[in-house]
Structure 1
Amino acid sequence: MYVAVKGGEKAIDAAHAWLAEERRGDTSVAELSIAQIREQLALAVNRVMAEGSLYDPDLAALAIKQARGDLIEAIFLIRAYRTTLPRFGATLPVETAEMACDRRISATFKDAPGGQVLGPTFDYTHRLLDFKLAAEGEAPVAPTREASQEATPHITTFLKQEGVIQTEVDQGDTPRDLTREPLELPADRALRLQSLTRGDEGFVLGMAYSTQRGYARNHAFVGELRIGTCAVEMEIPELGFAIEVGELELTECETVNQFTGSKTEPPQFTRGYGLVFGQSERKSISMALVDRALRWEELGEDNMGAPARDAEFVLYHADNIQATGFLEHIKLPHYVDFQSELELVRKLRAEAEENLASAAANTVPEAAE
């Protein structure tokens, strides 16, 4: 006998109180501050800002604290808060070529024009636990270096001058805003990039990895990966010119992909592109690989049945908030639905047993030889 649970409101209130207690943890241990999370868990903060579509390190740190470190829950909180904010206008496109770079590397040219800067990276660490951190000692002082304030041209600019990479023309159109209107297919490249930049990092990584393993034959080089600060400008009608309204830390990746040509395009290199809030290298590279895979149709390539080339599959499943909502709703009460399913299974079993019994009764034993 299945019955509905009673006393739901009291149970929910108690669950909330218990959650708050668990969130705080042992009160003899100092409570985490928002500043500590923002400064010492910066990569988690960056992910929440990117997938929450809101650049605010303090709010992202608060969301992480409230969510007990569950980043998808924190992203959900940020997106919900974002819907309450008024929109005053639109900024101009950021000029990433003018980025003040903290890190800038290329896997295609050793002597990249403008130089290579390793910056703060895990790439050359030994992946061994550092027990000095458990002792809570002071961090070593890094050599002093200011980010370059000079414009650093993109690597692809030099390939373009040689005419060996596809020319991409800015049509000047204002892209649709995925944060204000639902995703609709077919989606142009601008909308696909929006979906990927706020898509779940693990999902986008998995799709990118699939292209490298042969599901799209997407052999790519990192033409350039750069991390740094870009000025954000906005045109003020009353002034008649643009002014700087803030700065963003961004990670940008451009991949260079071999392309043997098609019926519509000559042999040349093509590009994949990724741009993400904060320091998010894995996400930006993954995004660039998937972006290139999704361009198969405009380049006249074969679909090959590759998952990463199926725009509907990729874009409709990249959003972790939608995925979480649909996944987790099945743990909520479904008593009526289950009762109907239970009655149906009982009826089918009864009919099956009745048919078996009838078949057995009508079976004539074979005569013994």
Structure 2
Amino acid sequence: MYVAVKGGEKAIDAAHDWLAEVRRGDPAVAELSLAQIREQMSLAVDRVMSEGSLHDPDLAALAIKQSRGDLIEAIFLIRAYRTTLPRFGASHPIKTDTMQCQRRVSATFKDVPGGQILGPTFDYTHRLLDFKLAAEGAVPDAPVEDDPDLLAERKPHVMGFLNKDSLIETAEPDDETPPDLTRAPMELPANRALRLQNLTRADEGFLLGLAYSTQRGYARNHAFVGELRIGKVAVEMDIPELGFAVEIGEITVTECETVNQFKGSKTEPPQFTRGYGLVFGQCERKAISMALVDRALRWKELGEDNAGAPAQDEEFVLSHSDNIQATGFLEHIKLPHYVDFQSELELIRSIRAAANAAQQDTKITAE
């Protein structure tokens, strides 16, 4: 508490009741079900799961309904609920090269093994309002793929093609257990694993702005999307009683790998470098932004000069990217600060009185 607050319980209860009434809206209009939100607002659900660090579409849908569509409030609700859950263990790293791709595109190679899959995307729409949706007409079924095995076919990562010619930096495996940002506070300087955890939970709009700044020259970050893939991956976990890992479910993720120009440095030869993004659900704008900011933050390990760009400032990026922390600090100023303001008011009055007295003394001396 910033100040002592007494009373007001009735007003607060009434505000909660009013909130519930406004959330429901016109009783004559059918109430939204969680299934409707989950199935028809899936991109909002995916964002809440990603930035809330909890993969549960039903709970994300509930949070969206409870928050009246305010996604940051919904993310806050999910994170708060997440802290109450017991932790049974850790899963194995997911294997995105075995992903059942619903969407898989590359901006660097046209013909890639496994083919390009446009999938469900807004990329080629005309951005015109579709008034047929307002008429609540039936939606035609998507065409059925002639070869259903094509979507299930294993699709190798595109970056491997460049790597075979030694044109791109090698992604060395790291067997060290990464720190867990959800259980320990952020420490700076942070290693790349911790930075990526921070970025995947970061506010999409904040990351988008930073990523855009790198493309406009604030970090000399000219990138190509080597591959963007969206699909389902298996989650495996060791079961001590069994002595081996079992698949406990599937989750949908978006993965982005960028190819960045690199002229070389004192420690590294000229080659392409990588940026990486991975988030829950279909959040490709977030994944691409994450990859661009990840690459910008790698300037030191690659031996590059720091251009002083915001996206290269690790402390600035990691300390301000969390929308829950930002929202809490921002919105607390609308809560009662009567005592604080009264002390500030008395200080200003005393300063003005001293300044007026000094002016009077100066006037008398001049006369």
Whether TM-score is above 0.5 comes out as yes
Letter of the structure 1 residue corresponding to residue 301 of structure 2: E
- Please say if 1:203 is aligned against 2:206: yes
Alignment partners' CA distance in 2, 1:101 and 1:171: 25
Letter of the structure 1 residue corresponding to residue 195 of structure 2: R
Q: CA deviation at 1:180?
A: 1.1
Q: CA deviation at 1:276?
A: 0.5
What's 1:117 paired with? 117
- Please say if 1:58 is aligned against 2:58: yes
Alignment partners' CA distance in 1, 2:7 and 2:321: 37
Alignment partners' CA distance in 2, 1:5 and 1:340: 16
Structure 1 residues 1-369: aligned runs within 5 Å: 7-145=7-145, 146=148, 148-364=151-367
Supply the RMSD in Å over aligned alpha carbons. Answer: 1.1
2:38 and 2:61 in contact (8 A); partners too: yes
Larger Rg: 1
Aligned with 1:308: secondary structure?
helix
Aligned with 2:131: secondary structure?
coil
Aligned with 1:28: secondary structure?
coil
2:114 and 2:153 in contact (8 A); partners too: no
Unaligned stretches of 5+ residues in structure 1: 365-369
Alignment partners' CA distance in 2, 1:138 and 1:282: 29
Unaligned stretches of 5+ residues in structure 2: none
Alignment partners' CA distance in 1, 2:175 and 2:231: 25
Aligned with 1:226: secondary structure?
strand
Aligned with 2:366: secondary structure?
coil
Letter of the structure 1 residue corresponding to residue 207 of structure 2: V
Q: CA deviation at 1:238?
A: 2.2
Letter of the structure 2 residue corresponding to residue 107 of structure 1: A
Alignment partners' CA distance in 1, 2:7 and 2:309: 50
Alignment partners' CA distance in 2, 1:256 and 1:6: 58
Alignment partners' CA distance in 1, 2:82 and 2:162: 40
Q: Deviations over 1:237-292 (max 9, x none)?
A: 22222111000100000000010000000000000000010000100000000000
Letter of the structure 1 residue corresponding to residue 255 of structure 2: E
Alignment partners' CA distance in 2, 1:200 and 1:83: 19
2:223 and 2:260 in contact (8 A); partners too: yes
Alignment partners' CA distance in 1, 2:13 and 2:71: 24
Identity rate, percent? 75
Alignment partners' CA distance in 1, 2:129 and 2:263: 45
Letter of the structure 1 residue corresponding to residue 332 of structure 2: H
Alignment partners' CA distance in 2, 1:287 and 1:96: 17
Letter of the structure 1 residue corresponding to residue 163 of structure 2: K
Q: CA deviation at 1:149?
A: 1.5
Alignment length, in residue pairs?
A: 361
Alignment partners' CA distance in 1, 2:141 and 2:239: 42
Poorly superposed stretches of 4+, deviation over 2 Å = 4-7
Q: CA deviation at 1:171?
A: 2.2
2:5 and 2:336 in contact (8 A); partners too: no
Letter of the structure 2 residue corresponding to residue 317 of structure 1: H
